[in-house]
Structures are given as C-alpha cells and as structure tokens.
Amino acid sequence: MFKKIIVALFIIFTSQSAVIAQEDIIARWNSQGWKTDFSKTTIDLREVGNVIAADAIPSIDDPKFQLATDETEVKGNEPVVAFEYNGIARAYPLRYLMWHEIVNDVIDGLPIAVTYCPLCNSSVVFERTLGDDVVTFGTTGKLRFSGLLMYDRGEQTWWQQMTGEGIVGARAGEKLKALPSYLISFDIYKERYPNGEILLADRRRASVAGQNPYINYDSSEFPFLFSGEIPEDIEAMMRIAFVQEPREIAVTLPYLEKNSPFRLGDLEFTWQAGQASALDSGVISEGRDVGNIEVYKILENGERIPVVYTVTFAFVGRAFIKDLEIIQ
C-alpha cells in the first residue's frame, strides 16, 4: 500500500511539473526549509521529483565496524561495496545501504561518502571534501531520472549520485571526486582482504537489514518512479558495467558472462559467479546469482589498477548520457 501511495504522489507531481513554472517549483522547495541557492542550476528543475522528506532515508554518519572474519549476519553471496585506502579495507553491505543510501566515513584521514541508489543499483564512493571543507552528505528525498539526489550539509548543493555532478545550488556545475571501489560478494571480499573490516548495522534500520523492499525490481520491464526516455535498442533494466572515464562506455552483464575477461582498449572487464542480486528476492541473500563485475585499467607493464565503474541499468546510463555506447 505504501509503495502504491508513493507511486501515485510521484505521478501527480511529475505530471504537474510539466506545466508548473520553475519559479513556482523553487517557491515550493523554499517552503520546505531548503537553504539551497536555487538560482544556480545546470538542469531543468522540472526533471526533479519530490518523493519523501529530506533525510527520511537517514545517512550513517558515525559508522561502526568489526573484522570481516568475525561472526556476522552477512551471508557470503551478499553484495558489498568494497573500498581500500592505505592498506585499510572496509566492506559496506547493500543489506544496510539499501536502507541508508549514504555512509559518511573517514579512512586513515580520508573523508569519504559511500553511496548506493537502489532504483539505479549504482554504488559510488566519493571524497567528501569541497574546497577546504569536509562535509557530510544526506538524502534530499528527491529523484531525477530515478537517481538519488544527495545534498551536502554545508551550502546544501544538490548532487546527482550517479554522476557526482552538482546540479542545483552554489556548486552547480562542479563534480565530486569519485574513487575506485568494487561491488563484490562478501565471500570474495573476505578472501581478498583477510584483515578487512565490515560495517555493522545501524540500530535505526537494524530490524529490516537484509530485506529488499523492491521485490523483483530488476526483472521488471519498467523502472520504478522513472520520468524520462526509455532506450529503444536495449532492455531498460538490463544490467551494465558503466565506466565514465577515461571514456564513456558500458558492457552488458550477459555479454560479460560469455566473454569475460573482456578487453576494450586498456580496460579489462571481468565477471565471475557468486553474487546475489540485491533487487530480486525479498531477502537479499536469496536473490538470483548475477555475478561479480570488476573493471581494471591495464598498464603497459601488465599491471592492473582499479578504475571507477558502476554496475547499473541501461535506462540509467542512457538517461544521463544520451548517446552512451553499450556493448551487448
């Protein structure tokens, strides 16, 4: 019932937005208490949909960890966002990110934001330094092309999680620095980082940790709460490995299953089985196996270094990059 109400409200808002002037939209947002400078924007504000209140999905700002080898409720096939810095490795399970979407953390003095958008299945790790200031990020409660819009708790610029771009506010036009991370199974993480740590459940959402509120989402024909153009040459919900730099390119999951490892210039895409979909079954660990995708840059000496990549859906890639090349 709650999901149906959210859908109805979103449809009402997006249909009204087509005729509402941007000035009226700004007035509405100002009435919500935002301190954002709405005079600065890189987008048509009518692309933004109101869904829930700001921070209704609460970020984790004081994360706690334990050794990954200690007893944990996280199953071996569950997806985790793995990040390593200066020899310190941490895993951020999607069983928790599903309900918080942002973890503001510090690793060996490096402030980072570990982010996950369920509707896009996109996980990205950003530095959370703006100029000389360290900021924390929260959820705006708004979507653009089904993508999470974050805001910094400083100037309250709104940031597109998928691309790291500031789209509304004082820093509109700027881009957050994304850092290489992996979306891999907990089993692979433990094998690769035997001394690694894993995020603990936050008590505010501990009772629903491990559950997926978007049952069968990634096998549906149409994305949830999406307002935009659906690609015609590929299934909207097709999983892709998406790289934005040094070039914008994507490869589909089925293609990688058949051709891994796949070389594209100096980029190598790999796939191996053993990771449950977080957006299939009502219990994440019971989701169908979609495997583990990783992307590396191959140097002339043969060394493999990680690059920033995202495992997302085709509709997402095309929503933000209209002419995105997708190898399928």
For 102-156, write each residue's pLDDT tens digit: 999 999 999 999 999 999 999 999 999 999 999 999 999 999 999 999 999 999 9
Query: What is the predicted pLDDT for the residue at 19?
Result: 58
pLDDT in the model for residue 7 = 46
**β-strand 239-243 against 309-313: which pairing, if any?**
antiparallel
Amino acid at 311: V
Cα separation, 210 vs 79, whole angstroms: 11
- Strand order of the β-sheet with 48-50 is 48-50, 137-144, 147-152, 158-160, 165-168
Half-sphere exposure of 90 (CA within 13 A, CB side): 21
Q: What is the pLDDT of residue 33?
A: 94
Question: How far, in Å, CA of 175 to CA of 6, rounded?
Answer: 30
Q: Which pLDDT score is estimated for 80?
A: 98
Residue 285 located in a structural domain: yes
Two tokens at 212?
A: 């997926």
Give the H/E segment covering residue 133. strand 133-134
Please check whether residue 27 lies inside any domain of the structure.
no
CA 224/CA 146 separation, integer angstroms: 7
Contacts of 251 (CB under 8 A, 6+ apart): 240, 241, 262, 264, 269, 326, 327, 328
Q: What is the tally of structural domains in the chain? A: 1
Residue at 50 is within a domain: no
Distance CA(315)–CA(319), nearest Å, equals: 6
Does 70 reside within a domain?
no
| Within a domain: 248 | yes
Report if residue 209 sits inside a domain: no
C-alpha 161/C-alpha 57 separation (Å) is: 15
Sites in the chain below the pLDDT cut of 50: 1-17
**Total-model pTM:** 0.93
- Structural domain boundaries enclosing 286: 217-327
Distances (CA, A) of 283 to 149, 151, 286: 26, 30, 5
Strand pairing class (249-252; 325-327):
parallel
Range 74-113 burial, b when 16+ CB lie within 10 A, else e = bbebbbbbbbbeeeebbbbbbbbbbbbbbbbbebeeebbb
Is position 298 within any domain? yes
Coil/strand/helix, residue 6: helix
In a domain, 127, yes or no: no
Alpha-carbon distance of 229 to 109, in angstroms, equals: 42
